[in-house]
Amino acid sequence: MVGFFVFMRLFIAIRLDDNIKRALTDAQNELRQRSFKGRFTDINNMHLTLAFIGEYNEPEKVLEVMDKVRYGQFSLTLGGYIGNFGNLLWAGIEKEPRLEALVKQLRHYLSTEQIPFDRKSFNPHITLMRNASGNTGFADIEVDKASMTVGSFSLMRSDFGKHGAVYTEIGSVELNRL
C-alpha cells in the first residue's frame, strides 16, 4: 500500500464581528443590485488575512509562533470604500499603525522559525467577491465605517468543497498579552 501526504492550506487571520460582517454584506448587496456577477464571499468566510502560509502541514508549529506574539488589543475600522485587484473586489480598512505593527511582529516570528508565508507587502482588505464581472461601477459604493475591537487572531485552515472554500479555525491567540 502506498501512502500519501496531504498538506493543509493555512492562513492567519482576524475573524470579524457581526457589526463588520453586516456592513460588508450590505456592500455585497449593493454590488448585486448593480448586476455584478461572480463568487461572493460567504459571510462565514469573511476575515482579514494577516499572513497567508499556504500548503503546510505543521499547524502546531504555527500556533507556537503565534503564541510568541505579545500585543495589545486595538480597533479595526472599515475604510468606507471598495477597491480591486483585477476581478477581485474588496473592502478597505482604515490605516491602523497597531495593525501594521502586529503583522510585522507576526511575520518576523514566522520568518525566524522558517515557516513559509507569502511575503507580499501587507495591504489590509476584506474580500467581497472573486471573478467579478458584469459591471465596472463600484468606486462610488460606500461601505459603512463599522468598527470592532480586535482581541485575538486565528490560525485558519482552508478546504475546497463543492460550493467553494470552507474556512475552519484551528486555534487562536488572545491579544492584550504585553
pLDDT above 90 for 176: no
Residue type, 10: L
Residue 144 domain-assigned? yes
pLDDT above 90 for 17: yes
Contact present, 111 and 177 (Cβ < 8 Å): no
**Whose CA is closest to 88, among 39, 32, 24, 145?**
39
Residue 1 domain-assigned? no
Residue 3 domain-assigned? no
pLDDT above 60 for 2: no
- Residue 119 sits in a domain whose CATH number is 3.90.1140.10
pLDDT above 80 for 3: no
Tell me the per-residue pLDDT of 60-94, one tens digit each, with 9 for 90 and over. Answer: 999 999 999 988 999 999 999 999 999 999 999 99
Q: Which residue range is the domain that position 135 belongs to?
A: 8-174
What is the model's pTM? 0.91
pLDDT above 80 for 4: no
Residue 166 domain-assigned? yes
Q: What is the 3 state secondary structure string of the chain?
A: CCCCCCCEEEEEEEECCHHHHHHHHHHHHHHHHCCCEEEECCHHHCEEEEEEEEEECCHHHHHHHHHHCCCCCEEEEEEEEEEEECCEEEEEECCCHHHHHHHHHHHHHHHHCCCCCCCCCCCCEEEEEEEEECCCCCCCCCCCCCEEEECEEEEEEEEEECCEEEEEEEEEEECCCC
User: What is the pLDDT at residue 178?
Assistant: 55
Contact present, 42 and 138 (Cβ < 8 Å): no
Contact present, 102 and 72 (Cβ < 8 Å): no
Residue 63 domain-assigned? yes
Residue 31 domain-assigned? yes
How many domains are there within the chain?
1
Cell of 165: 472554500
pLDDT above 60 for 50: yes
Tell me the per-residue pLDDT of 106-160, one tens digit each, with 9 for 90 and over. Answer: 999 999 999 999 999 999 999 999 999 987 788 899 999 999 999 999 999 999 8
- Work out the pLDDT band at 1, boundaries 50, 70, 90: very low
